[in-house]
Chain A
Amino acid sequence: MKSAVLHFPGINRERDMARALRHISGREPAMVWHADTELPAGTDLVVIPGGFSYGDYLRCGAIAARAPIMQAVRAFAQKGGLVLAVCNGFQIACEAGLLPGVLMRNAQLRFICRDVYLRVERSDTAFTRGYNAGQVIRVPVAHGEGNYIADGETIARLEGEGRVVFRYSSPDGMVDPNWNHNGALNAIAGIINERGNVLGMMPHPENHVEVAMGRTDGRGLFAGLVDHFQKAA
């Protein structure tokens, strides 16, 4: 699996993401600068990592969505290329029109960093094939604006088409306001686009990939992607 990690100024989890990809795919990802206009030839997976692109001084992700490299990412996604967008990456993907909806400030109006539980809603996507449907994983969040919302019609479509792939839940998989730390509508933590090749999610699977660090629940996502490309090859 040949991955490319986008690097916008102000992004700060690009190293975490690169390390997770290196550990699990065994291959060093390419780091792609925001001012570039092309992705490296043969890219399988584009990753938009977390951070504070351009300081998040406008709306989160709004400036990055208009960076030169995003033209190439849109074209890549249109051709069916896989795009993994995490945290600020999810915000960027929404601003760039790759995914519907928007991430608002957390309901409590505070930045929150803690481990959360996610119920994996589907295992039949390239991103979630490493998990079982209904499985609960534990991964960290670290964001101030992760409160997902979209208009009623969009939400109905997302739910109807099974495009909500991760939902905040209790440790035993129940959706419960007490376990929805940011107030996201329908406890939505991650969604895919219509075609299923773009995933946006707020939590950080890349921070839970090593036994030595305590938890490895995030590995499944990357291992599933590696598997996806091996099967395809």
Chain B
Amino acid sequence: MASNDPPITPELIAEHGLTPDEYAHIVKLIGREPSFTELGIFSAMWNEHCSYKSSKIHLRTLPTKAPWVIQGPGENAGVIDIGDGLAVVFKMESHNHPSYIEPYQGAATGVGGILRDVFTMGARPIACLNALSFGDPGHPKTRHVVAGVVAGVGGYGNSFGVPTVGGEVRFHRRYDGNCLVNAMAVGIAEKDKIFYSAASGVGMPIVYLGSKTGRDGIHGASMASAEFGADAEEKRPTVQVGDPFSEKLLLEACLEIMAEGCVIAIQDMGAAGLTCSAVEMGAKGDLGVTLDLDKVPCRETGMSAYEMMLSESQERMLMVLKPEKEKLAESIFRKWGLDFAVIGETTPSKRFLIRHGSTVMADLPIKELGDEAPVYERPFAQSVKLPVIDAVSVKPPMSMADALEKLIGSPDLCAKRWVFEQYDHVILGNTVQRPGGDAAVVRINDGPKALALTADVTPRYCEADPFEGGKQAVAEAYRNLSAVGSQPLALTDNLNFGNPERREIMGQLVGCIQGIGAAARALDFPIVSGNVSLYNETNGRAILPTPTIGGVGVLDDFTKSMTLAFKAEGESILLVGATEGWLGQSLYLREVCGREEGAPPPVDLAAERRNAEFIRMLIRDGLATAVHDISDGGILVALAEMTMASRIGAVLESPAAIAAHAFWFGEDQARFVVTAKNAEAILDRAGTAGVAVARLGATGGSVLAIAGERPLVVSDLLARFEAWLPAYMAGAD
């Protein structure tokens, strides 16, 4: 065993993010002081990012099974069966800390990482989504972060050659020092050709593939497991640099050797690089792993074992190959100009043995590295319930027309064209519904089957009531998928929170997970993959709790997908779902009244299911001509979006029983706007289905006309909707 240089001191242990108790456990586990390399390996395996030590016991409560789930959480990505012998492989993952420190590369490598997770399992990526949360537009760094993150997401995905078809963008001061970049990738594979990470067989060659190992990203996972202080900039060297060109080659080479039947097990080198991937392959296969670091392709000379084991250089894979196919696999990798090296083998010993030169640098029990990682049942405090805001107590400070104009020109509701036009969203020629609708629709191969994809969460609801907010995120994804006519199948969750060692933050995490679980159970919408990002805090202030939900639905025929644009003049506009006029935590209250207050809208899961099923039936039976989910901004914002997408106006009746501002801008859940040629047919069915449906008005003209209000010219609304983001990014404050 290598002698220790530097010596293991309490300071060094703390620098590795390990507590004294965790270190004591390591010493007990291996019966001696760890070597420096071993300390690095433990810190990589036991940090929050890799071990889920604060969230694990709560994540176990989530529903992850359904007859159509092929693989739930625990692999590189989740896998579901969509019939016809095909499977969808998908996952969402955060790259928050790196993206704030170095926006372009942080976001780019976030996209690269999640794409690798998907094609590692044998799937060809067909779409990406991105959920981005930025600081207040007035914060001096926000514009720089937005520009870099968006360019980075585009820079990687565009070059790799996958369409980025959807997502969301929000601004709030609570993300000032800590933006969120949640990237989702979706791929298609043949159902019986999914590849997993568990190694099998003793004495099998372990092969390193892809790019060379450099000194970039060392301790990236540990960095992502700590709060930021004023020294965030100094952490730039921990951010990796992306190379989408190499990743594209890696994709093609991996799919080619998989098709040739060369692969027994495969694991991408993501967080904690070689360490995490090798341990996972061995531990899952009940095998030991021996690595000879002299064989690792390195970008620079003189790299130590410690550096090689902790490097997070991108675009690398570890595989166990069938020995008889090794030469074939090597020739395929060489053809694509990628590195290929046998760097070790599987052993019966269940030890993780690392050699460098003639020295053993680490000799650790492989199962315990993962299984014995600390699991914390951290104390938590439930969030205090906030009072329900009585709509009557909210005095409208302006007319409905003025409020609508203000809302659709606000940072959270304005058009995100400036963002999605930097993403190639048409490559592969399968994008049926482009960004801007309720969910993106992407055809599979030559169709007619297609996927609907969405990413959703309303962080202000989650902060006000974590349980209801968690439910709402799932329900909104379910609604969005239903609004385009797809059957929602499964979701991936990306849980972004602050420091779990604080009781109130832990309370948010626990509450949101419970809410997500409740909704997923009620809607038959299982969680098949996910990622947890904690310690999203800067100088002691946490982000808004942001459990992003990535939803996947399937359409049997993409030509039947529904859009939100009005289709013709003179059609009836209907409201599906019950309205009380819930103003607590609404964007109306925040943007128009300047108040961020109250309890968020409650989510009635039975109504969510019933109403969404009703909508899917209307679409299937050809009764609806346009459908739009009602969410941020309420009914009137949804209607404005439908007019702007079609340039067709609407004449709207005013509500009788509810105060106008609460009716038009309340954010009650489980609702949709629907248009129809024949309203009676829908009203008839609504009675049978027990769904509340009311008439809102009719389409037509070129203005949005609300009874008793100044008429709004659709083209003026559109100009306002499109104006804010480009002007902001151009530097006009």
Contact = CB atoms under 8 A, between A and B. Distances in A.
A212 B559 contact: yes
Contact of B161 (A51, A113, A204, A207): A51
A113 B421 contact: yes
Contacts of A55: 159, 243-246
Interface size class of A (residues with CB under 8 A): 20 to 34
B285 to A, nearest CB: 33
A15 B425 CA distance: 15
B432 A213 contact: yes
Contacts of B249: 9-10
B429 A12 contact: no
A10 B337 CA distance: 12
A77 interface: no
A155 interface: no
B582 interface: no
Contacts of B159: 10, 12, 51-52, 55-56
Given A110-B422, A112-B422, A113-B422, A9 B558 contact: no
B151 interface: yes
Interface in A13-67: 13, 15-16, 19-20, 51-52, 54-57
Given A52-B159, A55-B244, A212-B558, A140 B154 contact: no
Contacts of A16: 427-429
Interface in B129-174: 151, 154-155, 158-161
B387 interface: no
Contacts of B420: 113
B447 interface: yes
A114 interface: yes
A206 interface: yes
A112 B420 CA distance: 9
Interface in B225-262: 243-246, 248-249
B380 interface: no
B426 interface: yes
B408 to A, nearest CB: 21
A144 B246 CA distance: 19
Given A12-B160, A12-B248, A52-B245, A212 B447 contact: yes
Chain A interface main SS type? mixed
A140 B426 CA distance: 8
A204 B243 CA distance: 25
Nearest to B429: A16
B405 interface: no
B427 A9 contact: no
A26 to B, nearest CB: 15
Contacts of A209: 429
A168 to B, nearest CB: 15
A9 B422 contact: no
Contacts of A56: 159, 245
The CB with the most chain B CB atoms within 10 A, among A12, A16, A54, A212, is that of A12
A12 B427 contact: yes
B248 A10 contact: yes
B429 A207 contact: yes
Nearest to A15: B428
B306 interface: no
Contacts of B336: 9
Contacts of B447: 212
Nearest to B445: A19
Interface in A208-233: 209-210, 212-214
Contacts of A210: 429
B423 interface: yes
A99 B422 CA distance: 27
The CB with the most chain A CB atoms within 10 A, among B336, B337, B421, B430, is that of B421
Contacts of B427: 12-13, 16, 142, 207
B626 to A, nearest CB: 16
A38 B423 CA distance: 35
A9 B424 contact: no
B425 A113 contact: yes
Contacts of A112: 421-422
B613 to A, nearest CB: 27
Contacts of A114: 421
Contacts of A110: 151, 421-422
Nearest to B249: A9
Contacts of A51: 159, 161
Contact of B158 (A19, A57, A111, A140): A111
A218 to B, nearest CB: 10
Contacts of A140: 426
The CB with the most chain A CB atoms within 10 A, among B159, B244, B423, is that of B159
Given A55-B245, A212-B447, A212-B559, A13 B161 contact: yes
Nearest to B425: A113
B158 A213 contact: no
A51 to B, nearest CB: 6
Nearest to B729: A110
B422 A10 contact: no
Contacts of A52: 158-159, 161, 244-245, 248
Interface string A88-120: 000000000000000000000011111000000
B728 to A, nearest CB: 14
A16 B443 CA distance: 13
A52 to B, nearest CB: 4
B429 to A, nearest CB: 5
The CB with the most chain A CB atoms within 10 A, among B336, B427, B428, B559, is that of B427
Contact of A142 (B245, B337, B426): B426
A107 to B, nearest CB: 13
Interface string B3-21: 0000000000000000000
11 contacts: A9-B337, A10-B159, A16-B429, A52-B159, A111-B422, A112-B421, A113-B426, A142-B424, A142-B426, A204-B426, A213-B430
Interface of A: 9-10, 12-13, 15-16, 19-20, 51-52, 54-57, 110-114, 140, 142, 144, 204, 206-207, 209-210, 212-214
Given A112-B421, A142-B158, 17 more contacts: A9-B245, A9-B248, A9-B249, A9-B336, A10-B249, A12-B248, A12-B427, A16-B428, A19-B429, A54-B245, A55-B245, A57-B245, A113-B421, A113-B424, A144-B158, A206-B429, A214-B432
6 nearest A-B residue pairs (beta carbon): A12-B161, A55-B245, A142-B424, A52-B159, A16-B429, A140-B426
